[in-house]
Structure 1
Amino acid sequence: MKEQTILDVQNLQKNFGKVHALKDVNLQLHTGEVLGFIGPNGAGKSTTIRVILGLIRKSAGSATVFGENAWKDSVKIHKNLAYVPGDVYLWPNLTGGQTIDMLLHMSGQKHSAKTDELIKEFKLDTSKKNRTYSKGNRQKVALIAAFSTDVDLYIFDEPTSGLDPLDELIFQQRVAELKKRGKSVLLSSHILSEVEKMCDTISIIREGKVIETGSLEAMQHLTRNVVAVKTVSPIDGLDKAQGVHQLNFTNDQHTSAEFTVDSDQVGTVMALLTKSSIVQLKTTPPTLEDLFLRYYHSDSNQKVGE
């Protein structure tokens, strides 16, 4: 399948009176890609998504979906898009089953064998009225309808809020399936492990600005590996080695140490450790959590993890 740009957001801004909710948001999503859009509550994720969906009008910049204007062509765009918000509100007097069928009908889709499979997988009692459902069950109704829909773009805004770990796993498996079928997914989340498992590309938003975009692998140069090492002879020069931080010798002989090291200095540090004859070595690569903390730490001078 030829790769196409499904979603293109450039220099997006949104003001609510004097409040600058979005200052500079840039996002791109391509065919068969899962884009993780991360940031804490209030960073601007949901506002960005509302602009993409054509629910609110941008103040400046541009937002196109399938090459169409997100605001002017929203009706056309929505025919090829499925959306699940973080807090689903349903018609209280309808049952879960009736709601799923209505949501599918509104999207020009029909209840299918896949719908039944999803209902069984998520263990949803579709005979109950929506007003009796917990938050998690309301999310399940929306997710079942979305995953039953055959469209090119799926937008999930904090979709697993209220779900238990087993349901979260089902969600992750279904997203992986969409990707295999060449579908595009925008996943907004503050659950870092969720994004880390599923996304090809990650965009970090802070105070209305996208401040970093790339694959997790590409962004790992920004953080540090955690190293625990034991050697035969004392480790000399580690305290002066470039890229080494938070060094702690765990014995008096200086043959056991724990420290963090900048990713681009790992090779140099390993060469230094080898001179002391390594007995045991454990390195832990940086996670999305580390990246996140780097950008959101209240004191930019303090090291991540301290």
Structure 2
Amino acid sequence: MQCDVYSQIYSNVLLATDGSECARAATTHAIDLAATYDATLHALRDRNANRIRQRQRPSGDDRRRPYKARGVVGRRVRSIESQPIELESLTKYYGDIRGVEDLTFAVDRGEIFGFLGPNGAGKSTAIRVLLGLLKPTDGTASLLGRDVTDRTELRDAKRRLGYLPSDVTFYDRVTGAAVLDHFGRLRGDERREELLERFPVPLDRTVKAYSSGNRQKLAIVAAFMHEPDLAIMDEPTSGLDPLVQNEFYELLEERRDAGRTSFFSSHILSEVRRVCDRVGIIRNGRLIELDTVENILAEGGTVATVRLAEEPPPAALEFPGVARVDRRDGDGRYRLVLAREFDALIERLSEYTVLELEVREASIEDVFMHFYGGTDENPDSPASGNGATP
């Protein structure tokens, strides 16, 4: 049976002792990764999901979405020339709990697109819907012009897809070479040797002996060795040292130059600025910003650090144009993030004795905090409190 192959590759996907049938799925990540590469595992995933969770009809407060009849979601004809990723009013609820809501955007060919947000914002939920691992509650989504709710179309799209999950899980007792051999049989491996030179791993050792960095490098080689037209990645640089991270960024840039598309979620702001062409920022399951990195940074404006001889009233430095004020206790310093120009700040500071003043361009971290307002959790997320990322 085809599932027997996966029993050799993924841990926590438990099969019958004689290998005759799939018994159950114990870990979401393992099933997700396996199902990405073979549509036959979609049935296993769906069967187990239905067994452990009853679908609830949303009703009541504004967090609940109208129920949409099965078979209506996402069914429309798309051209093969469509953009690599298209979302239109995409919504996913877990019962009455919001995962993502009303996501609408498209990713262009040859683009590196960053999907930005803290843990629990809804990034992984959106990715799992794109991969066909979760069914949308409402809206539509397509990969490479194929409807993600249609199994046949999705299977066609996945032949041209590379997927790198946030938590890579391989069966510990096989070697790295066996893992790559398996994925090579499924999708091809024309870039295997080249990528192994750039992301070397001890192929003759069992995966159990791998460090977290080596596991991640093995997953990178497996995801990219068939030269996919579209790569979807969830926190792809987790566990990598800075040198390997730079090599990975160069790989993404080479793919962009060749007209291939990369989509990745991240909460590491420096890597978003380093490689992304455009960024979508998600908060509490909703898209709150979509623009180029340059334009988003321009929106962030200026950061001013000032030290005053006097103690100003608490609200003295809070005026139109100031996005945030941070006080550094004990030394009279204040840090202000200005949405636009800082002429108004200079006028206000003229009322005090200024001992020091430093002005610089806002970093992407400053911009991120401007959009999030210091909030780093999604109270509606099913992941809140359990360490998972929806």
TM-score by length of 1: 0.79
Contact 1:55–1:71 at 8 Å: present in 2 too?
no
Equivalence map 1:73-84=2 (5 Å)? 73-84=153-164
RMSD: 3.1
> What corresponds to 2:68 in structure 1?
none
- Structure 1 distance, partners of 2:304, 2:291, is 25
1:294 to 370, 375, 388: 370
3-state SS of paired residue (1:22): strand
Opposite residue 131 of structure 1, the aligned amino acid is K
> What corresponds to 2:254 in structure 1?
177
Matched, 1:151 2:241: no
Cα 1:29–1:267 shift into 2, 3 Å: farther
> What corresponds to 2:108 in structure 1?
30
- Structure 1 distance, partners of 2:293, 2:359, is 17
- Structure 2 distance, partners of 1:242, 1:145, is 51
Deviation of the 1:52 alpha carbon: 0.5
> What corresponds to 1:42 in structure 2?
120
Cα 1:105–1:221 shift into 2, 3 Å: same
Deviation of the 1:162 alpha carbon: 1.1
> What corresponds to 1:202 in structure 2?
279
- Structure 1 distance, partners of 2:126, 2:337, is 36
Q: Which runs of 5+ in 1 are unaligned?
A: 230-238, 249-256, 271-280, 300-306
Cα 1:290–1:94 shift into 2, 3 Å: same
Opposite residue 155 of structure 2, the aligned amino acid is V
Q: Give a deviation string over 1:257-295, Cα, whole Å, max 9, x none.
A: 98757464258989xxxxxxxxxx975322221121122
> What corresponds to 1:265 in structure 2?
341
- Structure 2 distance, partners of 1:166, 1:29, is 28
Opposite residue 90 of structure 1, the aligned amino acid is F
Q: Write 1 or 2 for the structure with the bigger share of strand.
A: 1
3-state SS of paired residue (1:160): coil
Q: How many residues of Structure 1 are paired with residues of Structure 2 in the alignment?
A: 274
Q: Give a deviation string over 1:123-172, Cα, whole Å, max 9, x none.
A: 31111111222222111111012222222101111111111111111111
Contact 2:175–2:207 at 8 Å: present in 1 too?
yes
> What corresponds to 2:193 in structure 1?
116
1:163 to 220, 223, 240: 240
Opposite residue 33 of structure 1, the aligned amino acid is E
Cα 1:27–1:241 shift into 2, 3 Å: closer
Contact 1:4–1:30 at 8 Å: present in 2 too?
no
Matched, 1:98 2:178: yes
- Structure 2 distance, partners of 1:259, 1:75, is 52
Opposite residue 5 of structure 1, the aligned amino acid is Q
Opposite residue 203 of structure 2, the aligned amino acid is T
Contact 1:220–1:263 at 8 Å: present in 2 too?
no
- Structure 1 distance, partners of 2:142, 2:319, is 48
- Report the more deviating stretch, 215-224 or 178-187: 215-224
> What corresponds to 2:211 in structure 1?
134
Matched, 1:88 2:168: yes
- Structure 1 distance, partners of 2:172, 2:326, is 58
- Structure 1 distance, partners of 2:121, 2:339, is 28
TM-score by length of 2: 0.63
Contact 2:123–2:265 at 8 Å: present in 1 too?
yes
Report sequence identity in percent: 34
Equivalence map 1:57-76=2 (5 Å)? 57-72=135-150, 73-76=153-156
- Structure 2 distance, partners of 1:31, 1:240, is 43
- Structure 2 distance, partners of 1:293, 1:91, is 39
- Report the more deviating stretch, 51-60 or 133-142: 133-142
Deviation of the 1:64 alpha carbon: 1.0
Opposite residue 234 of structure 2, the aligned amino acid is D
Q: Give a deviation string over 1:36-83, Cα, whole Å, max 9, x none.
A: 001111111111001101111100011011221012021111011100
Deviation of the 1:19 alpha carbon: 1.5
> What corresponds to 1:216 in structure 2?
293
- Structure 1 distance, partners of 2:133, 2:290, is 25
